[in-house]
Structure 1
Amino acid sequence: MTVFATIEDVELLWRTLKSDEKVRTAELIQVISDSLREEAFKVGKDLDVMIEQRPSFQNVVKSVTVDVVARTLMTSTDQEPMTQFAEGAMGYSVSGSYLIPGGGLFIKNSELNRLGLRRQRFGVITLYGED
C-alpha cells in the first residue's frame, strides 16, 4: 500500500529533519498511513477510494499525516513531555500537563473530522414506552 506523505512532504510542510529523525519519520509515515486507513475502516470508509474520487482530498490526508508525524516527533522519547509545568516553593506544589498522556501514536478527533471519519450519532429515546 502507498503512504499518504513522504519525508520530503514533512520537511516542506513542517521543518527540516535531522538524519536520525528521517529514519524514524519513514517508519512513522507507514504506521500513521495504516492507522488512518483503520480509522476509516471503523466507520465504513476507504481513504484510498476517497482519494481516487476526489484528488484534492489527497492533500488533506497528507496534511493530517504530517501533523501526526510532527506531533509524534516533538514528543520526547527519554522523558515525559510536558506542555505546561508549574512549580511552587515553600508550599511544595508541582503541577503539569502531559503532551500525550501514556505516549504512543495519537490521532486527534479534529484530524479525524478533517478526514470525514467522525460519525455524528443521533437517536430517539422513548421515555414512557409505546402507546
Structure 2
Amino acid sequence: MNPFATVDDLTMLWRPLKEDEKERAEKLLEIVSDSLREEADKVGRTLDAMIAEKPPYFASVVKSVTVDIVARTLMTSTDQEPMTQTTESALGYSVSGSYLVPGGGLFIKNSELSRLGLKKQRFGVIDFYGND
C-alpha cells in the first residue's frame, strides 16, 4: 500500500530535508502510514476506505497527520537523548530537562487520532448497585 504522504509533501509542509534524512523519511512515511492503518483497524475502521468515502479534504488531513508524525520522529536525535528544555546550575551541581520523546521511538498522539476520527470521547454510567 502507498504511504499517505510523500517526501515532497514533507518538504512542502515542514522543511527541506538534508540528503541523509531523505531515505529515512521515505521509510518513516511507509511505517507511519501502516501504523495509522493499524490504529484504524483497532477501532474497526479502514483508513483507506475512509479516504475514498469521505470528501477530498479528509485525504489532506490524513496527509497532514502523517507529515506531523514523521517530522516529530525526524526531529528525534538518533545519537543522543533529545531534550526540549534544559536547566543548568553552577555550584549547586543541578541539571534538569524534558525529553522530546520519552523512551524514544515512533508515537502517535491521541489528538492526531482524533483528527482522523479514530478516537472519540466516550461516556457511560456504571450502575454500582445493579437491578433488584
Q: TM-score, normalised by structure 1?
A: 0.95
**Aligned equivalents of 2:92 and 2:41: distance in 1?**
51
For residues 87-126 of structure 1, what are the alpha-carbon distances to aligned partners after superposition, in whole Å with 9 as ceiling and x for unaligned? 1222222111100001000111111110011132222111
**Aligned equivalents of 2:93 and 2:131: distance in 1?**
60
Q: TM-score, normalised by structure 2?
A: 0.95
Instruction: Could you tell me which runs of 5 or more consecutive residues in structure 2 were left unpaired when the two chains were aligned.
Output: none
Q: Give the percent of matched residue pairs that are identical in Structure 1 and Structure 2.
A: 70
CA RMSD of aligned residues (A): 1.0
Matching of residues 1-131 of structure 1 within 5 Å: 1-54=1-54, 55-131=56-132
Instruction: Could you tell me which runs of 5 or more consecutive residues in structure 1 were left unpaired when the two chains were aligned.
Output: none
Q: Alpha-carbon deviation of 1:2?
A: 1.4
**Aligned equivalents of 2:36 and 2:129: distance in 1?**
42
SS of equivalent to 1:5: coil
**Aligned equivalents of 1:24 and 1:127: distance in 2?**
52
**Aligned equivalents of 1:34 and 1:84: distance in 2?**
31
| Letter of the structure 2 residue corresponding to residue 51 of structure 1 | I
SS of equivalent to 2:44: coil
Which deviates more, 85-94 or 1-10?
Answer: 85-94
**Aligned equivalents of 1:130 and 1:8: distance in 2?**
60
SS of equivalent to 2:28: helix
| Letter of the structure 2 residue corresponding to residue 108 of structure 1 | K
SS of equivalent to 1:103: coil
For residues 57-93 of structure 1, what are the alpha-carbon distances to aligned partners after superposition, in whole Å with 9 as ceiling and x for unaligned? 1000000000011111111110000011001222222
**Aligned equivalents of 1:29 and 1:12: distance in 2?**
15
Equivalent residues of 1:43, 1:119 under 8 A apart:
no
